[in-house]
Amino acid sequence: MGKRNVPKSEDVVYPQFLQIGSHLVAIEQGESPITTDEGEELYGYWQPLHTGGKIVVDDSLEGGRKLAVFLHEVLHAVSDTYGLELKHRQVYGAAEGLAQALHPWLKDLSR
């Protein structure tokens, strides 16, 4: 399990799990920087279902940036689960737009 997220004033409280299709996907806060097995540094990643099915987000991110990364990985997970074959740039644009639109609301709900 990831560390329990302690929300900062601009932060959204994130769930520990999300139901995506028939899968319960764990949400983890990863130590910054997140480094893949290949040595690549990331703000977050979606580990596909056949290798665990979890989402990890850099715990040093805050506010709308963190929400955008979180939603980015959720969209990759939804795309994989439902066979949508979304391209990274589509996921990127959708996540940025959704984060901007939803952050004020989710931040208020998290108080």
- Binding footprint of Zn ion on the chain (CB under 5 A): 88, 91
Least spacing, CB of residue 88 vs Zn ion, in Å: 4
Provide DSSP, the chain: -PPPP---TTPPPPPSEEEETTEEEEEEEEPSSEE-TTS-EESEEEE-GGGT-EEEEETT--HHHHHHHHHHHHHHHHHHHHT----HHHHHHHHHHHHHHHHHHHHHHT-
Residue closest to Zn ion (Cβ): 88
